[in-house]
Structure 1
Amino acid sequence: MKDGKRFPVVEENYRFECTLCGNCCTGDQRVWLNPADLMRMALFLGYGHTSELFRQNVVLLDEGENGAWRPRILFKSYKKLRFCPFLENHLDDRGRITGLCRLHPKYKPLICRLAPLGRVWDAETGSEQWLFVKPAPDCPGVNSSRLNSLRETLQQYGSEIEEETAFLKKLQHFLEMKSEPEAYQELFYFIVKRKGEGDKR
């Protein structure tokens, strides 16, 4: 069963196991972020405000497929190679190059942790569909025999998915209001506090 375009719909189980190839962290990938992702990323980098992520060119505000503006990681470029700034390459015990994420696991964006699951959310009905989206065209993990449960994955990230749903509803409101890109800043610019810190405002 497909979504009518390119990706199979996941209804119960899916086969996948990350091989740490790093292919999903390079090329023309677009890693879209939600406010919680921005907060975690700012904490990792020691920033006191998410606006610093934009000023330091870690992320940028870009127009998504549906016309809403949202942040995504700004990939770096070296010659013809484009790659995530949080990607680190290492040699494993067999001498193979592996791609590791500096944000993994605590600060990693939700979209990366959910991979290869992608979500289609309907703003009118509030319904959603989960799709199997290859993290990269040449991802070796999609050939795995490991069987994953959609239900268990959604339970694991349930609260974060709910937060993202609330964020998507706000995005939809901005889209309906035909807001300029600058107006979206109120969703993405905020003070970041570590646990136990008092209110700095």
Structure 2
Amino acid sequence: MDKLSLLVIPGSVRQGSLNCTLARAAMRIAEAQGAATRLLDLRALELPLYDGDIEAKQGVPAGAVELIEAIMQADAVLVVTPEYNGFPTPLVINAFDWLSRAPAAASRPAGLQATANKPLGLLSASPGALGGLRAMNYLRQYFQMAFGMLAHPRQFALSRANEAFDAEGKLKDDKARQQVEAVVQSLLQLAGAVKTKA
């Protein structure tokens, strides 16, 4: 089988983002397990806040198409997000709301066709005691019900994330690292099984 490809999407890309740090740690783990990885910066897609009037006048922005193409090229998607007031970040929700509006084109399927049956893994990080768990649980429902993605049941919320990494961005706690490894490994196994059946 060809090398599996993993698309990693942080839900926060601000400077010093703990979730970007966790995303990169997960990428190193995936690469050690033989996968090819890509980090997608949702902010770089320059998507406006979803507005039906914008869609009617200008169509779906190019950034949404870029997101669709990145998902199509990947065997699995790993979303790594904090929570804002107990909910997923607007950066994630807005990007996928735009994706859901994209119709099929000659060279690609519609947005919702691109996400259907795509293996999905979830991680979160927060300085708080719950580690972003509430947002991750909302996202599980969102991605499964609205986008038809295959969300793996194994997930991990990294609590006290502001104390969790060393100067190189590696997880200091062995148990936390093992949890992230388990999520990544399980996701890649699911992706491999889906790819074999395709």
TM over 0.5: no
TM-score using structure 2 length:
0.26
Choose between structure 1 and 2: higher strand proportion: 1
Specify which structure has the higher proportion of helix: 2
Question: TM-score w.r.t. structure 1 length?
Answer: 0.26
Question: Larger relative CO (CA 8 A, sep 6+): 1 or 2?
Answer: 1
Return the index of the structure with the highest Cα Rg: 1
